[in-house]
A and B are shown apart, each in its own frame.
Chain A
Amino acid sequence: MSAALSIGAIVAVVVVTAIIGIWGLRISRTTGDFFVASRTVRPVWNASAISGEYLSAGTFLGLSGLVLLSGSDAFWFPIGYAAGYLLVLMLVAAPLRRSGAYTIPDFIHARLDSLTARRLTSALVLIIGWLYIVPQLHGASLALTVIADIPPWVGATTVALVVGGSVAAGGMRSITFVQAFLFWLKLAALAVPAIFFTITLRGSEPEIDPALVFPQDLGPAGLDTYATTSLLIALLMGTAGLPHVLVRFYTSPTGGSARWTTVGVIVLISAFYIASSTIGLIARIAAPDLAAPGVADTVALQLPSRLIPGPPGDLLTALVVAGALAAFLGTSSGLVVSLSSAVSQDLFHGTVTSFRWAAVFCTLVPLVVALATAPQGLVASVGTVFVFAASALSPVILLGIWWRRLTARGAIAGMIVGAGLCTAALIGSAALGPGTGPLPTLLAQPGLWTISFATLTSVIVSLVDRRTPVSADRILSRLHSPERSRGELTTGG
């Protein structure tokens, strides 16, 4: 009964996604539609769409799993993810929209007038995107295995097929509507069960000992200052360096609407994280036996049948499964859109046909990786991508927007140092294994020092280089001037 309902929910989500995608296809006509939805997406739709692709398997399934496994430290992840949008709002959203570029590599190229910097950025965008898609596919495998004992490859392949197909068919414009729908589905899929669970737990009054269920050493009192600061800075900066996040701002009509869109995103993702955190707290009360690596990430899927027996529980499980699928689909398709934009603009002159082939290519590579590797903790995997993006791309994007003297060589050096140091730290951390003490902590949470080194490198090399692009003043003027003063309100950008 439960398995049949859950599979029915999966089929329903796939069918509705396909219908919305096809509807979007009918109104996707131009190249502008494909890449930036013709820059006409209103803040409410855009905020739902951005939230729809931002909230991934990492927070849908992974957050409650991590709260169960390691306590309140897990809450720093959603706090960092949401606060990342505050940084994006204040430093990135409007200028990036006003840049008029299609992708991050476009922006870097226009700002620094360097093909090498552009190609390096494209390579980093691809790496970040692929690294981010892999945990989504792992999450899909995990979910299907839990609900219906389906072989892991089926889940990953289904998500990859739906994502590759819908992106190739409809491009950005159709995906915008798909993403907005997926956000509301994800929110409902956690908020509704959370409300039911709370009512059930209050009604049954289980005898819980707060000191055992919520021990002090796993709570806020056990805060590690360095690890928390480093993680938060990496998550904050990482949001500004994620290709699928930034590409969304190009679809706003103006810089001002890009800002209000970001405010909307902060409100929407906060609501989602509050629901997700509630599931985590309830998991500690109702499912302590699932607190084991690998199993913990399935707790959101298993709670409904544990707390609410019979058909109502089965229905809630089906809803959570539908939401989980929405999480895998939303993030993966957002990433594939931005990767396909970058690949087709860079390698195939940005035509619609090349965008479609790029979508297929950008889905296949992570699928192969996902099928060849075993799932790790979902939150940790996604967190790693944020640290990498924060070290490799974010410093250059921020300096490019705010510092006139950034040069192509400075940017290239910063990206290489950031990416190199972060990779070395992550490999070192994996080799050392978990442990306490300064070195394992520095390697496990490298954001603070890798971002600092990358930024310093960019600044120092730029100052020594002094080849500030001749167009720097013109571009900065474009990035920071309101549309009205440029007479662009009516023409778009």
Chain B
Amino acid sequence: MTEHGAAGPAADRRRGAARPQRERVTSVDAVSARTEPPARAGRWAVGEAETLFTRTLMRAHGRLAIMCLVSFAVALVLVAVVMSRLPLLDAIAIGGVPLSWLIHAYGFYPLMIVWAIGYTLASQRLEGRFTQLVEHE
């Protein structure tokens, strides 16, 4: 079996760049022949500066994502604790439905929307700074 289309456009570009690539023809039972990574380190090597750059951006992205996820989890737990541990909320009913049930049914979605927009704006800023840095170089 060939690896045609294996990695989508990335593979297309590779094929386009240096055809024909007979060494990429393989088969299901030739997996053992692939225990070592293909010898293409030269062509695929990434510069040290680029690696450092990417890792810095990745870490920044990761930090932002974790910060947002953790703060969202804290908010979610807080709302869950309030709605499940405050007997007062069971006593107040709106349209016959206890407030605790209404919070459970509707209360979490606004949080998600706020966090989603906040994260997306923050990540846009982050990538904008990164792109500016690249363009300055």
Interface residues of A (CB under 8 A from B): 72, 75, 79, 82-83, 85-87, 89-91, 94, 99-102, 106, 109-110, 113-116, 118-119, 198, 201-202, 208, 210, 213-214, 216, 219-223, 228, 256, 259-260, 262-263, 266-267, 270, 273-274, 277-278, 280-281, 285, 345, 349-350, 402, 467, 469-471, 473-474, 476-478, 480-482, 484-485, 493
Contact = CB atoms under 8 A, between A and B. Distances in A.
B97 to A, nearest CB: 6
Contacts of B103: 220
Nearest to B40: A470
B4 A350 contact: yes
Interface in B1-30: 2-11, 26, 28
B134 to A, nearest CB: 4
A115 B96 contact: no
Contacts, number: 184
A89 B54 contact: no
Contact of B101 (A114, A115, A214, A270): A214
Given A86-B72, A100-B10, A220-B89, 4 more contacts: A72-B101, A114-B34, A116-B31, A210-B98
Contacts of A467: 37
B124 A256 contact: yes
B4 A402 contact: no
11 contacts: A72-B104, A83-B76, A115-B26, A259-B120, A274-B106, A280-B105, A469-B37, A470-B38, A473-B54, A474-B44, A485-B135
B116 A100 contact: no
B102 to A, nearest CB: 8
Interface in B70-128: 72, 76, 80, 83-85, 87, 89-90, 93, 95-98, 100-101, 103-106, 108-109, 112-113, 115-117, 119-120, 123-124, 127
B65 A470 contact: no
Contacts of B84: 220-223
Contacts of B106: 274, 277
A100 B8 contact: yes
A160 to B, nearest CB: 27
A220 B58 CA distance: 39
Contacts of A86: 69, 72, 112, 115-116, 119
A223 B97 contact: no
B65 A90 contact: yes
Which secondary structure characterizes the binding site on chain A?
helix
The 7 closest A-B pairs by CB, nearest first: A350-B5, A270-B109, A110-B7, A90-B65, A477-B54, A277-B105, A482-B127
Nearest to B96: A208
B97 A345 contact: no
B34 A110 contact: no
A245 to B, nearest CB: 15
Contacts of B10: 99-101, 110, 478
